Amino acid sequence: MISRTELKCSCSFSELALLKLRIAEADGVILDEAFTANGVDVQLALGAEHIDNVQRQLADLSRGRILLERC
């Protein structure tokens, strides 16, 4: 069994595919997606050892807009 930490973030519609790719590359799981007028709110789970690296990748692809927050 893999221990994962539940996180949430928001992204634009155009960033969603890359966000999903980065999560999958880190063996993470998308738990929920909620489409809003401004983009997508995403709930996900990542292994603790991957959180910092994925946060850097998401910040790079979004110019710092995507921030992972613990649920």
Token couple for 43: 């709930």
Residue whose token pair is 């994962």: 4
What is residue 69's predicted lDDT score, i.e. its pLDDT?
Answer: 97
Helix crossing, 16-25 with 51-62: angle to 10°?
A: 160
pLDDT digits (tens, 9 = 90+) for 47-69: 999 999 999 999 999 999 999 99
What is residue 52's predicted lDDT score, i.e. its pLDDT?
Answer: 97
What is residue 2's predicted lDDT score, i.e. its pLDDT?
Answer: 76
What is the pTM for the complete model shown? 0.93
Is 45 in contact with 5 (CB distance < 8 Å)? yes
pLDDT (mean) for 14-20:
97
∠ CA(60), CA(66), CA(59), 5° rounding? 15
CATH of 5-70, one of 3.30.70.240, 3.40.30.10, 3.20.20.70, 3.20.20.140: 3.30.70.240
pLDDT (mean) for 11-38:
97
What residues have CB less than 8 Å from 67, skipping those under 6 apart?
Answer: 9, 55, 58, 59
